[in-house]
Amino acid sequence: MKKIVTLFLVLVMMTAVFAGCGKKAPAVDTPVETETGTETGTETKDKIRVGISLPTQREERWVRDKEQMIAEAAKLGVELVVKVADADTQEQIQQVEAILTEGVDVLILAPNDASASASLVDMAKEEGVPVIAYDRLITGTANLDYYISFDNTEVGRVQGKFITDLVPEGNYIIMSGAPTDNNAKLFKEGAMEYLQPLIDSGKINVIAEQAVDNWEPENALKIVEAALLKSNNKVDAILSPNDGCAGGAIQALAAQGLDGVVPITGQDAELAAAQRIVAGTQTMTVYKDTRDVASKSIQMAIALANGEAIETNGNVDNGVKEIPSVLVAVKIVTQDNVKEVLVDSGYLKEADVFK
């Protein structure tokens, strides 16, 4: 009897010991951010790990996207592996490969190049990692799971309507974004819905129509400089695809004393653009609340990792498949509503905008 009791006690103790061994380490609440590829986080298999690959930090908006993703992940207890490519497709490919090698449950990918990134999505699929395209669509792959962005054609429409209402005839410079970015195509399509009929009727005379390679402000500056020279400074309006390019274009205008004289569009509601709107050198921008899409993308990633349903509000054709999408609305910003839209929403600080 004594032997049986002893054996029983030993068994109970061993069970307790093994149970203890099986317990996973408590999850750390702070997300891990690794841009260099060095893992610094605590290994907790029960924690969702999300890989994030961003194309750039050159425009202010991408800095905000990243900050908000990190904040949301921290709030929801998700571990992150974040990498940022400097507007370089090869660099991004290597970074995504590294993220997949490290091992993640879901990948959020904002591509530098829409079509070149298809192979990355296919690679993730082979590893069983679902992919969410972020802000910019990834084209030519049926393996893309979701897309989250803004209504990008509408961004272009807002720009096109605004500038043609203000300047319904005259000499135009028409710029579009990086040809490798699917958004650039959508922005231009939206804007051309308003410009094309006026071009066709001869009211608008296009003195330059060019894509801004890599979204580089310096390239926009050169385009505008050349058009001013060619037209003997006879430019009546400029369609600029974003605030960065508007900044470059306005520098070229300023060199001829034409800043604040020639209306020009923008997009992103960057602080510098808001300041130019207040100063009167940039005529409008399009506000896209990156806080919203960044937070939502993390929530989508969690749902995807848990196999839960994701609520979408549209489908976007990537050339191969209708991608279930979450598309967020945008708002126009002019001198009249800059405070209301950008300051009152908490996006920018009043003291910074009106300084």
Q: According to the binding rule CB under 6 A, does residue 242 interact with ligand BGC?
A: yes
Binding range to ligand BGC, per CB under 6 A, among 54-62, 77-85, 320-328, 342-350:
54-62
- Residue 302 main-chain phi, psi, to 5 deg: -65, -45
Least Å distance, CB 135 to ligand BGC, is 5
Least Å distance, CB 143 to ligand BGC, is 21
CA–chain centroid gap for 300, Å, is 15
153 vs 171, beta carbon nearer ligand BGC? 153
Q: According to the binding rule CB under 6 A, does residue 159 interact with ligand BGC?
A: no
Q: According to the binding rule CB under 6 A, does residue 318 interact with ligand BGC?
A: no
Least Å distance, CB 330 to ligand BGC, is 10
Residue type, position 264, single letter: I
Q: According to the binding rule CB under 6 A, does residue 135 interact with ligand BGC?
A: yes
Dihedral of CA atoms 152, 158, 161, 162 in degrees, nearest 10, equals -140
Q: According to the binding rule CB under 6 A, does residue 219 interact with ligand BGC?
A: no
Q: According to the binding rule CB under 6 A, does residue 136 interact with ligand BGC?
A: yes
Q: Which tokens go with 21? A: 């061994």
Q: Which of 65, 236, 268, 289 touches ligand BGC (CB under 6 A)?
A: 268
Q: According to the binding rule CB under 6 A, does residue 59 interact with ligand BGC?
A: yes
Q: According to the binding rule CB under 6 A, does residue 112 interact with ligand BGC?
A: no
Q: Which of 134, 215, 287, 347 touches ligand BGC (CB under 6 A)?
A: 215
- Binding residues with ligand BGC: total (CB under 6 A): 12
145 vs 268, beta carbon nearer ligand BGC? 268
Q: According to the binding rule CB under 6 A, does residue 64 interact with ligand BGC?
A: no
Residue type, position 24, single letter: K
135 vs 236, beta carbon nearer ligand BGC? 135
Least Å distance, CB 184 to ligand BGC, is 7
Whole-number Å distance between alpha carbons of 245 and 92: 23
Least Å distance, CB 79 to ligand BGC, is 27
Q: According to the binding rule CB under 6 A, does residue 61 interact with ligand BGC?
A: yes
Whole-number Å distance between alpha carbons of 227 and 245: 15
Whole-number Å distance between alpha carbons of 101 and 86: 21
Q: According to the binding rule CB under 6 A, does residue 66 interact with ligand BGC?
A: no
Least Å distance, CB 21 to ligand BGC, is 49
For residue 99, which of 35, 161, 31, 163 has the smallest C-alpha distance? 35
Residues near ligand BGC (CB under 6 A) are: 56, 59, 61, 135-136, 177, 181, 183, 215, 242, 267-268
